[in-house]
Amino acid sequence: MNIAEFQRNMKDAYLEKDAKRGVMGTYAWLVEEVGELSRALRKGDDVALSEEFADVLAWLVSLANLCGIDVEQAMTKYRDGCPRCRQVPCTCSEKP
């Protein structure tokens, strides 16, 4: 399954519920899942980690559906490497 198929699956499964919850309610769930990812990272539990990555990605893509964002199209920002320095690998300094 590629990212476009994943986004379509999330849309088919969850768009109706997501729309009822709204953008900020769905964003709150994404943040909650990011918190769970943080806990899995600290524990070093590989099975939990894989599930948390899936959950964060699912909520992120659900939020994109609500906002009318095509994630495959959005990803093209990084198609040619770092969008700032245009290098692969990135040669930007860590300072903003």
* Residues of the shown chain interacting with Zn ion in the complex, contacts defined by CB under 5 A: 82, 84-85, 90, 92
Query: Smallest distance, Å, CB 75 to Zn ion?
Result: 17
Taking the least distance from each CB to Zn ion, the nearer of 35 and 81 is 81
Taking the least distance from each CB to Zn ion, the nearer of 31 and 82 is 82
Instruction: Report residue 51 CA to chain centroid gap.
Output: 13
Query: Smallest distance, Å, CB 61 to Zn ion?
Result: 25
Taking the least distance from each CB to Zn ion, the nearer of 54 and 92 is 92
DSSP state of 89: S
